[in-house]
Chain A
Amino acid sequence: MFGKAALLLILGFSLIFVIFGQNFGSVTTRAVDNFTEYYTESNAHNIAVSGANMAANQIFFDPTWTTGYDDVPYSEGTINVSVEVLDVYKNIRKVTSTGTYGSTTNTVSVILSPSKFSKFAYYSISEGSSIWWYGTDTVWGPFHTQDYLRCAQHPVFKGPRTTTKKTLKYYSSKSADKPYISGDFQSGVNLPLPTDGITPLKGAAEEDGYKFTGHDTVYITFATDSIKYKYTYNGAVTTAYSSTFAPNGVIFAENAVVRLKGTVHGQYSVVASGSGGKGTIWLDDNIVYSSDPRVNPSSSDLLGILAKNNVWITKNTLNNDDINIHASIYCETGGFGAQDYDTRPVSGDINLLGGIIQNTRKAVGTFGGSGIEHGFSKRYRYDERLLVASPPFFPGTGAFEIVSWLE
């Protein structure tokens, strides 16, 4: 009798222990499963991201690369990458990277678009040896210089910044001069201007734009729906309907000087080629959009002013009281500046809506203890539409940029 009771007692306890043990074991297993699942998903995700980065790197070296990767072993998993051309005309590509770790897969999709110099709010090859970005300077939009970024008293850069030189230059110390940067900053990025980014526009002008040839100077005035041009100051003016004058938007003055002003309706690139004094564009008065994108965000007016050499603000009466410029300015071997910047009268503000891409930074005025002594103050505002749009046939950087990253 007593023996049976003891046996039942032992069996009872054993059963209880088994049930609790199984329960605890199950809980422990599920807890481990929980973290294992997170770990495998993280690994699959990291593998997919790595695949996308590797593909982006391949496309950086070879913009025509569409081979992709097929079951490439990576970090104890595999990478599969495909490259798809979404838009043949605009050359927009999509990279789809799938990372597999165990039985878990993760996908990262990246869209790349050809990068244009027009996306820059400010670009320069040379910043000059003694020109500093000061605390009163603010630059909106992407910025790149092949030179040192020289900072004094916390200048503000609102947008991604890249420099070729791997260090910043501080006027006195980092604490006193460190720039305020919104967005990304990368040093060691080499992005030279093309040696001949202008010539391809000549072909575009010959194809479906307009090419001036055999004239030393071309005076072009945009008058909203029409374009007026002449070849001498007192010469006869020819007026053309803008939509039929240069259907693809490229107006090319070969081996000439262009004198430009007016109100632009539509999308154009005005180009001057040539060497010596040619290949220069003079801004004789305001050159603005008919619909200001700051007032009308759906405005489609867009202008590129592209000179082989320099773009100058003319010293004249019209420009002595501010000048308004709506354009992305490109100077391949020279820069953007004001004529006689150190002797002209105080001329108000340069109200620029767009960007400046120049080889060498040039001056637009001189300053003293009491403010501006000659020339202009700078009021440069970036046209954010340039992040996703560009004037017709604006020179490209030769590389792609990531415009969308989904993970």
Chain B
Amino acid sequence: MGFSTIIDILGSMIVGAMLMLILFRMNDASVENVYNYGGELILQQNLAVTAQVLEHDFRKIGYCADWIKVADPTKYVLLADSNKIKFITDYNSDGNLDSIFYYLGPTSELSMTANPRDRFLYRVVNNEAPKGINLGVTQFKLVFFDALGDSLPFLITDPADVNVMEINITVENIAAYDEKYSSAFWRQVRLVARNLRNR
């Protein structure tokens, strides 16, 4: 084995090592990208689903298939706070009035997830036991406006003052590669539950 052979082997090892490093780096980047892309997709799906459910329910505040039962719809927001709302609606359109309560749970309930900020967004119908689904919600912020368009300060002592709502939702991944969490934000700037303005 001559000197040139040793040089060839060393050169091959160096080239091989470089190729291996490139391969590992590419693998790492690929995994990160797959994780992030997939996470963002899930994030978007969670946000879209949450937004659709919220819009559907909030637009039905004060609605009842048997409209005679809703004499004064302004009374049908029972509780309005910065991150919780309870209202009366006929959620399954069966002609019976139901209550729906939305509120955000504490972060401690989801301490098992990697994301320290995610929380359960609860949707409680009537007197059902609260059931939370982890959609990675980190913010559920409500702003309420009166009939003249002025924002109502919290605490709102008379929920009948509520005329228009602004809904803010932020959703993050429940786990992220290298703790680089993606987030998506949705805001319904002016949601008017039409039945609140009837009569």
State yes or no: do A and B come from one complex: yes
A contact residues vs B (CB 8 Å cutoff): 9, 16, 20, 23-24, 27-28, 30-31, 34-35, 37-38, 41, 111, 119, 141-142, 158-161, 178, 180-185, 384-385, 387-388, 401-407
CB distance from B167 to the nearest CB of A (A): 14
Whether the Cβ atoms of B160 and A404 lie closer than 8 Å is: no
Give every chain B residue within 8 A of A16 (Cβ-Cβ): 26, 30
C-alpha gap A142/B199 in the complex (Å): 7
Chain B, interface size: which category? Answer: 35 or more
CB distance from B9 to the nearest CB of A (A): 14
C-alpha gap A35/B41 in the complex (Å): 10
**CB of B197 within 8 Å of the partner chain:** yes
**CB of B98 within 8 Å of the partner chain:** no
CB distance from A185 to the nearest CB of B (A): 4
Task: Enumerate B179-199 residues with CB–CB distance to A below 8 Å.
Answer: 194-199
Given A27-B38, A34-B48, A37-B48, verify A401-B160 contact (CB < 8 Å).
no
B contact residues vs A (CB 8 Å cutoff): 19, 26, 30, 33-34, 37-38, 40-41, 44-45, 48, 51-52, 59-60, 63-65, 67-68, 70-72, 74, 93, 146-148, 158, 160-161, 163, 194-199
Can you list 11 pairs linking A and B with CB atoms under 8 Å apart?
A: A20-B30, A24-B34, A28-B37, A31-B44, A38-B48, A142-B199, A161-B147, A182-B147, A185-B147, A384-B71, A388-B68
Nearest to A53 among chain B residues (CB) is: B194
Give every chain B residue within 8 A of A385 (Cβ-Cβ): 71
C-alpha gap A31/B44 in the complex (Å): 7
User: Which residue of B52, B158, B194 has the most chain A CB atoms within 10 A of its CB atom?
Assistant: B194
CB distance from A195 to the nearest CB of B (A): 25
Whether the Cβ atoms of A185 and B148 lie closer than 8 Å is: yes
Nearest to B193 among chain A residues (CB) is: A405
Interface of B, secondary structure class, is helix
Whether the Cβ atoms of B38 and A404 lie closer than 8 Å is: no
Give every chain B residue within 8 A of A403 (Cβ-Cβ): 67, 198-199
Whether the Cβ atoms of B45 and A34 lie closer than 8 Å is: yes
Given A183-B147, A185-B147, A384-B72, verify A111-B44 contact (CB < 8 Å).
no
C-alpha gap A405/B64 in the complex (Å): 9
Give every chain B residue within 8 A of A38 (Cβ-Cβ): 48, 51-52
Whether the Cβ atoms of A405 and B51 lie closer than 8 Å is: no
Whether the Cβ atoms of A405 and B72 lie closer than 8 Å is: no
CB distance from A29 to the nearest CB of B (A): 10
Selected from B48, B74, B158, the residue in CB contact (under 8 A) with A35 is: B48
Given contacts A16-B30, A388-B67, A403-B67, 8 further A-B contacts (CB under 8 A): A20-B34, A31-B40, A34-B41, A111-B67, A182-B147, A182-B158, A183-B74, A406-B60
Given A31-B41, A384-B72, verify A181-B147 contact (CB < 8 Å).
yes
CB distance from A218 to the nearest CB of B (A): 34
Give every chain B residue within 8 A of A27 (Cβ-Cβ): 37-38, 40-41
C-alpha gap A403/B62 in the complex (Å): 10
Nearest to B162 among chain A residues (CB) is: A182
C-alpha gap A161/B74 in the complex (Å): 12
6 shortest A-B CB distances, which residue pairs?
A182-B160, A185-B147, A405-B194, A404-B67, A27-B37, A183-B74
Whether the Cβ atoms of A387 and B194 lie closer than 8 Å is: no
C-alpha gap A31/B93 in the complex (Å): 32
Whether the Cβ atoms of B196 and A388 lie closer than 8 Å is: no
C-alpha gap A31/B19 in the complex (Å): 34
Whether the Cβ atoms of A404 and B45 lie closer than 8 Å is: no
Give every chain A residue within 8 A of B40 (Cβ-Cβ): 27, 31
Whether the Cβ atoms of B74 and A41 lie closer than 8 Å is: no
Whether the Cβ atoms of A158 and B30 lie closer than 8 Å is: no
Give every chain A residue within 8 A of B52 (Cβ-Cβ): 38, 41
CB distance from A170 to the nearest CB of B (A): 12
Whether the Cβ atoms of A158 and B197 lie closer than 8 Å is: no
Give every chain A residue within 8 A of B195 (Cβ-Cβ): 404-405
Give every chain A residue within 8 A of B45 (Cβ-Cβ): 34
C-alpha gap A142/B19 in the complex (Å): 79
Give every chain A residue within 8 A of B147 (Cβ-Cβ): 161, 181-185
Given A158-B160, A401-B199, verify A24-B37 contact (CB < 8 Å).
yes
